[in-house]
């Protein structure tokens, strides 16, 4: 890497550490440390919410996904604005007025201690695992950049984020996230700009879109009603509403953001602000991946983007098979390049023929690429997926010094903003829902502050350790969502019981939650519906079973808050 | 001098231009639907 890029990365670290340490000074108790003394304006919360969601996986994995599979992934966010409006009308005022630290604390007031503990435990489990993935993903990128051991990078990122999060608490987390989100915005537009600038001068914007559109990669809306397909309008809207309701309504890492608001208005505004920006932002990221596909029509892409695996294949007993495929690949690329040029230059009358030729050439090239992927897969005995390597390979190979550093910094910012938020919320749930609840209920604020910092360090260490073993989980972005989906819907069901069903009891909520999780487990085993629908299954089973058990419980309702 | 009524905004008020939260939510939903329509047109136009 060029010294200028190193300088950009070093400046970023110095700056973020400076912001974190300066804004995180003066924490006197856990209301300071976990909720920034409930003093944050809406735009800080809004940017913080967005930064938490934009992980390095989003930047690296989503662009790769658009390159390989197209932009249909955007439909997963279609439920978000509706979910946010529903939350602003229901859960947000409940949480805000209850003056709680965690969403699960609210459940004890409504139901009982064991329901609170179980939901909080599920959050710790799912977020702890997801945090490990979030640390792992950027290490993939940076291990390619630096040529360093992936494990060393995981340790550097995971433990690096832990240090200033443990020191500064929520205020440091949110202010660093504001800057990180701004860096991510700049990085995103540099990414898209760099790809577009790299296209041949003779290629117009509309011709570029026509080339990628021919392969179906610009299909952002698919009305197919099949529930087995994950990225459709209906799955994104219906399944997405439940996913987002669960995520923003029951996940401590999000709830804690809007609990820091200096008023309920500010909290609501922050969520609506992030909901409005989310889909356009994802569009820009996905469009970058789609345009990268056009770029690689005219510049030869590597046969697979993971160069480490390719080197292993070249040194393996199956190297001859690879060399044969590589020769076919070279010819197939030339054929596709000519077909792409012909498609770009085609007039109205010859367009259909040019499209057919281009698609045939693209299929041929993809078949060779798949063949090499299968060789690697057989060599390793594990499925092969190089989606996350597509974009970083482009950055490394084609971008000038300085821009590489800037995009790396954006990836760092995306990773660290997510990691620090998760660590802070994991620490909050651990200390408030378990340590203070069961072990030391009446210690001083100073004592809890020390324990909170220790908990942050412990979670940072655990997530980093888990990240070391996350190496081969396929497209990481789906893994994160899948892990969450196993618990989210069921937890949402408990909150629906708490707020909407007056007769619901603690016993009903607890066993309803257990039944909901079992139902999601069975659904994932014996059904082929998209994982986005698991949240609906989980939520519905919790509400129905919880309600029925509540009816059989003695002593009906506890007052609502 | 007569005592003037308290004019400080309620911390749960929406931004004044919308007057009620309901109107604000309606604007958010309408904006979302417009984005979906634009995405549909984009998808449709570059389908082939």
Terminal Cα-to-Cα distance of chain B (whole angstroms)? 75
Residue A166 confidence (pLDDT) = 92
Q: Are A529 and A283 in contact (CB under 8 A)?
A: no
- Look up the domain containing B39 and give its range: 17-45
pLDDT band at A145 (very low <50, low <70, confident <90, very high): low
Q: Which of A220, A268, A275 sits opposite B39 (nearest CB)?
A: A220
pLDDT at A547 over 90: yes
SS3 category, A261: strand
Contact A219 B47 (CB under 8 A): yes
| d(C-alpha A166, C-alpha B42), whole Å | 45
Per residue in A22-52, pLDDT tens?
888 888 888 999 999 899 999 999 999 999 8
DSSP state, A230? S
- Residue/partner pairs of A200-203 with CB below 8 Å, 24 or more apart: A200/A298, A202/A344, A203/A294, A203/A298, A203/A344
DSSP state, B23? H
**B40 falls within a domain:** yes
Q: Which of A221, A264, A272 sits opposite B12 (nearest CB)?
A: A264
Chain B residues with CB under 8 Å of a chain A CB are 11-15, 21, 24-25, 28-29, 31-32, 35-36, 39-40, 42-43, 45-48
SS3 category, A54: coil
DSSP state, A381? T
Contact A219 B28 (CB under 8 A): no
Residue B31 confidence (pLDDT) = 94
The count of structural domains within chain B is 1
| d(C-alpha B48, C-alpha B44), whole Å | 8
What values do phi and psi take at B8, rounded to 5?
A: -60, 135
| d(C-alpha A335, C-alpha A339), whole Å | 6
SS3 category, A40: strand
Per residue in A328-373, pLDDT tens?
999 999 999 999 999 988 877 888 889 999 999 999 999 999 999 9
Residue A477 confidence (pLDDT) = 46
Minimal CA–CA distance to A533: which of A239, A182, A248, A271?
A239
Residue A559 confidence (pLDDT) = 44
Residue A560 confidence (pLDDT) = 45
User: What residue ranges do the domains of chain A occupy?
Assistant: 3-296+397-552, 307-381
**B8 falls within a domain:** no
* Mean pLDDT across A438-464: 92
CA A369 to chain centre: 27
pLDDT at A519 over 50: yes
Minimal CA–CA distance to A531: which of A461, A497, A484?
A484
Task: Name the CATH superfamily, with its identifier, for domain A3-296+397-552.
Answer: Sodium/glucose cotransporter (1.20.1730.10)
Contact B32 A81 (CB under 8 A): yes
Q: Are A211 and A343 in contact (CB under 8 A)?
A: yes
Q: Is the pTM of this model over 0.95?
A: no
Neighbours of B14 (CB within 10 A): 18
Per residue in A267-284, pLDDT tens?
999 999 999 999 999 999
- Of A554 and A375, the one with more pLDDT: A375
Contacts A355 to B, Cβ<8 Å: 48
| d(C-alpha A163, C-alpha A460), whole Å | 9
Q: Which residues contact A435 (CB under 8 A, 6 or more apart)?
A: A448, A451, A455
Per residue in A377-402, pLDDT tens?
999 887 888 888 888 889 888 888 88
Provide the percentage of residues in chain A whose pLDDT is more than 90. 50
pLDDT band at B47 (very low <50, low <70, confident <90, very high): confident
pLDDT band at B4 (very low <50, low <70, confident <90, very high): very low
* Mean pLDDT across A228-255: 90
Residue B13 confidence (pLDDT) = 82
**B34 falls within a domain:** yes
pLDDT at A174 over 70: yes
Q: Which of A213, A266, A276 sits opposite B46 (nearest CB)?
A: A213
Least confident of A58-62, A64-68, A417-421, A500-504: A58-62
| d(C-alpha A138, C-alpha A55), whole Å | 9
**B33 falls within a domain:** yes
Residue A482 confidence (pLDDT) = 61
pLDDT band at A483 (very low <50, low <70, confident <90, very high): low
Residue B2 confidence (pLDDT) = 44
pLDDT band at A471 (very low <50, low <70, confident <90, very high): low
> Angle of helix A307-314 relative to helix A319-345, nearest 10 degrees?
130
What does A286-314 look like in DSSP terms, one character per residue?
Answer: HHHHHHHHHHHHHSPPPSSS-HHHHHHHH
Please list the residues that pair with A40 across neighbouring strands: A261
What are the DSSP E strand ranges found in chain B? none
Mean pLDDT across chain A: 88
**B32 falls within a domain:** yes
pLDDT band at A325 (very low <50, low <70, confident <90, very high): very high
SS3 category, A59: helix
A-B contacts (CB, under 8 Å)? 66
Contacts B39 to A, Cβ<8 Å: 74, 220-221, 279, 283
pLDDT at A189 over 60: yes
| d(C-alpha A470, C-alpha A486), whole Å | 18
Residue A508 confidence (pLDDT) = 93
Give the residue on B whose Cα is nearest the Cα of A263.
B11
pLDDT band at B9 (very low <50, low <70, confident <90, very high): low
How many angstroms separate the CA of residue A363 from the nearest CA in chain B?
16
pLDDT at A537 over 90: yes
pLDDT band at A117 (very low <50, low <70, confident <90, very high): very high
Minimal CA–CA distance to A287: which of A213, A414, A192?
A192
How many angstroms separate the CA of residue A218 from the nearest CA in chain B?
6
What does A104-149 look like in DSSP terms, one character per residue?
Answer: HHHHHHHS-HHHHHHHHHHHHHHHHHHHHHHHHHHHHHHHHHH---
Per residue in B15-38, pLDDT tens?
888 889 999 999 999 999 999 999
Residue A140 confidence (pLDDT) = 72
Q: How far is CA A459 from CA A180, A437, A558, in A?
A: 22, 19, 35
Q: Are A328 and A361 in contact (CB under 8 A)?
A: no
């Amino acid at each position: 890497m060029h010294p200028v890029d190193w300088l950009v990365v070093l400046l970023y670290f110095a700056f973020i550490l400076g912001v974190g340490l300066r804004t995180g000074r003066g924490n006197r108790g856990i209301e300071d440390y976990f909720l920034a003394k409930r003093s944050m304006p809406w735009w800080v919360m809004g940017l913080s919410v967005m930064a938490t969601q934009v992980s390095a996986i989003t930047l690296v994995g989503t662009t790769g996904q658009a390159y390989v599979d197209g932009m249909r992934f955007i439909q997963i966010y279609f439920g978000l604005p509706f979910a946010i409006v529903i939350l602003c009308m229901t859960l947000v005022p409940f949480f805000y007025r209850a003056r709680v630290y965690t969403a699960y604390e609210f459940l004890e007031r409504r139901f009982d201690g064991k329901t609170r503990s179980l939901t909080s435990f599920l959050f710790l489990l799912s977020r702890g695992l997801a945090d490990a993935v979030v640390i792992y993903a950027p290490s993939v990128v940076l291990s390619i950049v630096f040529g360093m051991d992936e494990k060393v990078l995981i340790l550097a990122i995971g433990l690096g984020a832990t240090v200033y999060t443990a020191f500064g608490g929520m205020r440091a987390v949110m202010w660093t996230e504001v800057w990180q989100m701004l860096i991510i915005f700049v990085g995103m537009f540099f990414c898209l700009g760099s790809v577009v600038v790299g296209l041949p001068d003779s290629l117009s914007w509309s011709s570029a879109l026509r080339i990628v559109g021919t392969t179906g990669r610009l299909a952002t809306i698919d009305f197919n009603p099949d529930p087995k397909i994950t990225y459709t309008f209906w799955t994104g809207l219906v399944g997405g509403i439940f996913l987002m309701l669960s995520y923003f309504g029951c996940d401590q890492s999000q709830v804690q953001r809007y609990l820091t608001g200096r008023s309920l208005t500010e909290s609501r505004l922050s969520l609506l602000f992030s909901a409005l920006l989310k889909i356009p932002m994802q569009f820009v990221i996905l469009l970058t991946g789609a345009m990268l596909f056009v770029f690689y029509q005219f510049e030869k892409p590597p046969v697979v983007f993971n160069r480490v695996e390719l080197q292993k294949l070249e040194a393996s007993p199956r190297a001859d098979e690879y060399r044969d495929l590589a020769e076919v690949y070279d010819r197939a690329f030339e054929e596709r390049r000519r077909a792409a040029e012909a498609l770009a230059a085609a007039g109205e009358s010859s367009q259909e023929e040019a499209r057919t030729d281009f698609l045939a050439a693209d299929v041929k090239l993809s078949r060779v690429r798949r063949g090499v992927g299968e060789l690697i897969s057989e060599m390793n005995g594990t499925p092969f997926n190089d989606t996350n390597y597509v974009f970083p390979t482009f950055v490394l190979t084609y971008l000038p010094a300085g821009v590489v550093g800037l995009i790396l910094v954006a990836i760092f910012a995306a990773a660290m903003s997510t990691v620090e938020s998760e660590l802070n919320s994991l620490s909050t749930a651990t200390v408030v829902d378990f340590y203070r609840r069961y072990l030391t209920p009446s210690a001083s604020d100073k004592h809890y502050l020390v324990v909170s910092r220790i908990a942050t360090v412990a979670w940072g260490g655990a997530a980093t350790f888990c990240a070391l073993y996350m190496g081969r989980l396929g497209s990481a972005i789906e893994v994160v969502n899948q892990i969450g989906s196993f618990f989210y819907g069921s937890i949402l069901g408990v909150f629906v019981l708490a707020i909407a069903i007056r007769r619901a009891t603690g016993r009903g909520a607890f066993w309803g939650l257990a039944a909901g999780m079992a139902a999601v487990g069975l659904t994932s085993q014996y059904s082929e519906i998209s994982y986005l629908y698991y949240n609906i299954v989980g939520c519905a089973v919790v509400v129905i079973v919880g309600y029925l058990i509540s009816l059989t419980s003695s002593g009906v309702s506890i007052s609502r808050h | 001098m007569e005592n003037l009524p308290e004019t400080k905004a309620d911390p749960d008020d929406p931004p004044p231009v919308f007057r009620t939260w309901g109107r604000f939510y309606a604007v958010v939903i309408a904006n979302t639907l417009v984005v979906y329509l634009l995405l549909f047109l984009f998808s449709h136009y570059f389908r082939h």
